[in-house]
Amino acid sequence: MTDLLAVTGKQGRPDHERIAGTDAFVSTTLEINLLSVAAQRAVVDLSRMWREGRLVDNYPGLIASLRSRYSTGFVQRLLAGLEQGKTGVFSAHPCDKDRMALARAENARGVLTPGLPARTLFADYESLCHDVTLEFYDQELHLEREGCDLVPLQNVLEERGSGP
């Protein structure tokens, strides 16, 4: 616990690059951006499925599946785009390019190092994904689900030829 207290910032907030380490911070920043692109693509897929009277039962799983199919070239292009970012005068936070540069300059080893997937933090991850999916449909997309079939993610992936 003392190590964690030692890496808090000036305003009592943790310095994430010190907690996780520079490499984990930079790779996580990239991964968050890749997942964001995948989430946008997943919404396009959901729109098509909804018009067909179907919806996937695991939206986070759909996002992860889309993300897993990105080519190395695509990932490199996204990273190059992040490296072109600029923090605006009125920005509340530094852009990813600046945050990654600060983390690289810090070159922190990290107090907590990744070892297990985040899903291990949840007792029943699959049920949680299902519940989050329904909440997303209702609260964020405001979809009328009556008359729509919830299709297991595995079936959707097999239909598109990208299996689990």
Tell me the torsion sign for CA atoms 136, 138, 141, 144.
Answer: positive
| CA atoms of 82 and 85, how far apart (whole Å) | 5
Cβ 154 vs Cβ 160: under 8 Å: no
Cβ 152 vs Cβ 57: under 8 Å: yes
In tens digits, what is the pLDDT along the chain, a chain of 164 residues?
445 445 555 444 456 667 878 888 888 899 999 999 999 999 999 999 999 999 999 999 999 999 999 999 999 999 898 888 998 899 898 899 998 898 888 888 888 766 778 788 899 999 999 999 999 999 999 888 888 999 999 999 998 875 54
Tokens of 116: 């297990």
| CA atoms of 110 and 49, how far apart (whole Å) | 43
Q: What is the pTM of this model?
A: 0.81
pLDDT at 116: 76
